[in-house]
Structure 1
Amino acid sequence: MLTTLSIITLLPNQRRWGFAQMGTAQQPLRRVAGLRFARLLGSGADNGFGALPNLRRYGFMAVWESEAAAEAFFGQHPLWQQYQQRTTAIWTARLAPIKAHGLWDGVNPFDYASETAAPDEPVLVLTRAAIRLLKTPRFWRYVAPVSATIADAPGVRAAIGLGELPIVRQATVSLWDSARQMQDYAYRNEKHKEVIRLTRQEDWYSEEMFARFRVLSTEGVWELRSES
């Protein structure tokens, strides 16, 4: 099995098309052979962490039954060919889960044979939550400003805020030079620790997931910061 994450930056004149895909692409994705789990994700302003949408930036996260299934989709599928024709940049990472806990729409899609990563190897981290509607003001007051600072943390190559629905279903993806630097931020950054405490104390989320991945390979350009 294989997990992939793509960061997609559309051409300026493709905003309407890209937004429409959040609904219309679901049916063709359900018919893709070997695709076990897939989510198209929107993004916000300010590198994804703002409440207003960025209609040019999207994410696509998928879990495949095999590398061959992923290669067939990215190489030949008409939907992905349309994305390639309508973008200024696409960055795709091939990932293997190191650790994943919690649920995403009632399942853990990354609950398959896990890998290990050396402390100095690059890692990609996903945090995703469904926010209780009445808790959204507190969430955006505390979490969004802290999440936005991740991109400037030591060891971060790039970070972006993504989401399935505005305001209430949010995720953060961050790419780190090493697991060591990621852990330093998670356990030593005082603002981050305060947000974790408030999350538990005030029960902000109806569902949440944390996943850490070994980065097997990347291709393309993220555009927030170049990766290859």
Structure 2
Amino acid sequence: MPVTLHVWRVPGRRVGAAMLRIPLSWLTVKNVRFAKFLGTGTGTSFGPGDADLTRYAAVTVSDDPIELPGWDRLAVARARVDLTPLTSRGTWSGRKPFGDPKPGRSDGMVLALTRARLRPRAALTFWRAVPPVARELHAAPGLLARFGMGEAPIGWQGTVSVWRDAADLTRFAYRQPEHRAVIARTPAARWYAEELFARFAVDRITGDRAVLGWLEEGQTEV
């Protein structure tokens, strides 16, 4: 089931047009099994101040490659990441967009996607828990790129991170103390009304990888 992450950087003068295009994109995209058009942020706090109004993203699932020329015309830079699902747990808008892939392995780069809809009464405690994890993530060995994403400025949020290999992602997820603490706290805190975690093999990256938040120390040929 081909999955594609599309990311665009738009100039400041086109921010209004890009924000308007998010709800209108459904009128132009065809032959998709699943699609979400998203705003983005740095991924450091997940509050309104984290938003990056010049970067936008889409996640599409389709049988054939999807082109989004309207977004391409708005952008001054863009990147496309073609993905194969390795694992997927949870739902997104009540659906399992990436199916139920049999647990797979990848010998190359992997991408982790998380998405959650926060319970309003739990949002404040969640936001307080995020900064230490974000700092830990930024310094994690093997991290190549990361950014936040969301369907709304508050409460409908997620992350995208690209890793040199699956082992680096696993070490961060289960051995970094701040991240482990958040995982352990999640069931009791009941932060999420809905959540999804998926891991993908990165088949190809095309375009300007800086749009993905590529980290200078992690640059490699892709």
Q: TM-score, normalised by structure 2?
A: 0.89
Distance in 2, matches of 1:149 and 1:18, equals 32
Structure 2 CA distance, aligned partners of 1:18 and 1:148?
29
Give 1:216-227 correspondences, 5 Å limit: 216-223=203-210, 224-225=213-214
Extract unaligned runs of 5+ from structure 2: none
Cα separation, partners in 2 of 1:194 and 1:106, compared to 1, 3 Å? same
Q: Say what the alpha-carbon RMSD is for the aligned residues.
A: 2.0
Give the aligned partner of residue 126 of structure 1: 113
Counterparts of 1:7-26 in structure 2, within 5 Å, are 7-26=7-26
- The C-alpha deviation readout for 1:138-197, integer Å capped at 9, x for no partner, is 111102441354233110110000011122111110000000011111111000011112
Of the three residues 19, 27, 39, the one matched with 1:42 is 39
Structure 2 distance, partners of 1:144, 1:169, is 17
Q: What is the alpha-carbon distance in structure 1 between the residues aligned to residue 43 and residue 92 of structure 2?
A: 25
Equivalent in the alignment of 1:77:
none
Per the alignment, do residues 88 and 151 of structure 1 end up closer, same or farther by CA in structure 2, a change over 3 Å counting?
farther
- Residues 49 and 144, structure 1, Cα contact 8 Å, conserved in 2: no
Provide the identity percentage.
33
TM-score (norm 1): 0.86
Q: 1:170 aligns with which of 136, 144, 157?
A: 157
Query: Which whole-Å CA distance do the structure 2 matches of 1:149 and 1:57 have between them?
Result: 23
Partner of 1:101: 89
1:155-166 mapped onto 2 (5 Å cutoff): 155-166=142-153
- Separation (CA, whole Å) in 1 of partners of 2:52 and 2:3: 25
2:88 and 2:199 in contact (8 A); partners too = yes
Which range moves more in the overlay, 140-149 or 171-180? Answer: 140-149
Helix, strand or coil at the partner of 2:98: coil
The runs of 4+ residues in structure 1 deviating greater than 4 Å are 45-50, 112-115
Shift of 1:12: 2.1
What residue is the counterpart of 1:110 in the other structure? 98
**Aligned-pair distance for 1:116?**
2.4
- Tell me how far 1:115 sits from its aligned partner: 6.6
Which residue identity is paired with 1:23?
P
Q: Which runs of 5+ in 1 are unaligned?
A: 75-79
Which amino acid in structure 2 is aligned with residue 44 of structure 1? G
Q: Is the 8 A contact 1:40 1:59 kept in 2?
A: yes
* Equivalence for 1:57: 55
Indicate the residue corresponding to 1:197 in structure 2: 184
